[in-house]
């Protein structure tokens, strides 16, 4: 899968998405206080893809950050690819009042989204946390007008989503990865007994070989697999560092070594989604 000159991929509707996105989920009130400034820094160092959601409760902060960078001449609104997602109750588009933007580029649920696209309220429509069963269901939906351009899922060296990736590639749908670096900070959503991904000995050894951090190698691994990658940080040094994932290339041998770390393990507690009427657990690879 070839990247454009600005590190973008073309989706099946012709629109382009930057392959590196900045995540804005905050696990606690302290992180939420830092979200606006972190988003400003991300835009300053070159991020042009911002991932948000109603449930993150950070849309106001993100909106202020983007508009501040527009006001100071750093960028134009059309330069920013923003992903939004309604709440678990699938709020209609008009009820998502916290979002400051007039429109969004990608809103990841399906009810009424085709109508929103026809009305020009969104540019592209996709899904998140869909497994193969749900992907097949939506692609086989009677009267389907637009198929999803993307599916956003948990994906990392311990959960490589190979079946989903192959399915998406065969249907000209992009796969987008979150929790690429693993995470254990949010006790509400994250299994605290999970291994620390960035301390994996194979990952650490490969990072030393390339004189890169384990985080950059983990990001680069997913990028070379053809995924859109989301990453989150609240410190300027790490936000700047994440942009360096474009500066090196992993060998085929090292890619295979990282692929071999798959354990079909999820950091996200399954009960987070289990109450939703569309929930179906992911398939084992």
104 neighbors 71 (Cβ within 8 angstroms): no
Separate counts of helices (H) and strands (E) for the chain: 10, 11
Active-site annotation holds for 56: yes
Task: Pull the structure tokens for residue 222.
Answer: 């997913």
Angle at 124 between CA 119 and CA 127, to 5 degrees: 115
Q: Give alpha helix (H) positions in the chain.
A: 29-45, 59-71, 113-118, 132-139, 162-170, 201-210, 214-224, 236-242, 252-259, 271-274
Q: What is the DSSP letter of 202?
A: H
C-alpha to C-alpha distance for 165 and 151, rounded to whole angstroms: 10
Task: Pull the structure tokens for residue 38.
Answer: 């972190």
Q: Check 25, 54, 56, 82 and give the catalytic one.
A: 56
Q: Which residue has the tokens 């696209």?
A: 117
Q: How far is CA 18 from CA 10, 155, 161, 224, in A?
A: 9, 18, 21, 14
C-alpha to C-alpha distance for 120 and 281, rounded to whole angstroms: 33
Give catalytic residues, as residue numbers.
Answer: 56
């Amino acid at each position: 899968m070839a990247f454009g000159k600005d590190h973008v991929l073309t989706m099946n509707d012709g629109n382009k998405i930057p392959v590196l996105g900045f995540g804005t989920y905050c696990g606690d009130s302290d992180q939420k206080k830092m979200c606006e400034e972190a988003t400003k820094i991300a835009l300053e160092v070159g991020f042009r893809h911002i991932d948000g959601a109603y449930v993150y409760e950070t849309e106001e902060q993100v909106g202020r950050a983007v508009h501040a960078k527009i006001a100071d001449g750093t960028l134009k609104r059309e330069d920013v690819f923003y992903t939004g997602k309604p709440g678990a109750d699938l709020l209609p588009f008009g009820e998502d009042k916290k979002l400051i933007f007039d429109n969004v580029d990608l809103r990841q649920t399906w009810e009424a989204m085709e109508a929103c696209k026809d009305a020009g309220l969104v540019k592209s429509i996709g899904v998140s946390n869909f497994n193969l069963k749900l992907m097949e269901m939506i692609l086989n939906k009677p009267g389907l007008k637009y198929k999803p351009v993307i599916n956003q899922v948990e994906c990392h060296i311990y959960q490589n989503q190979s079946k989903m990736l192959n399915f998406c590639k065969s249907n000209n749908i992009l796969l987008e990865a979150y929790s690429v670096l693993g995470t254990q900070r949010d006790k509400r959503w994250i299994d605290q007994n999970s291994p620390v991904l960035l301390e994996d000995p194979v990952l650490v050894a490969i990072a030393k070989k390339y004189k890169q951090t384990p985080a950059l190698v983990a990001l680069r691994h997913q990028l070379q697999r053809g995924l859109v990658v989301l990453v989150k940080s609240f410190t300027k040094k790490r936000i700047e560092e994440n942009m360096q994932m474009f500066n090196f290339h992993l060998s085929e041998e090292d890619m295979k070594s990282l692929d071999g770390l798959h354990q079909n393990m999820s950091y996200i507690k399954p009960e987070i989604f289990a109450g939703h009427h569309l929930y179906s657990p992911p398939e084992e690879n």
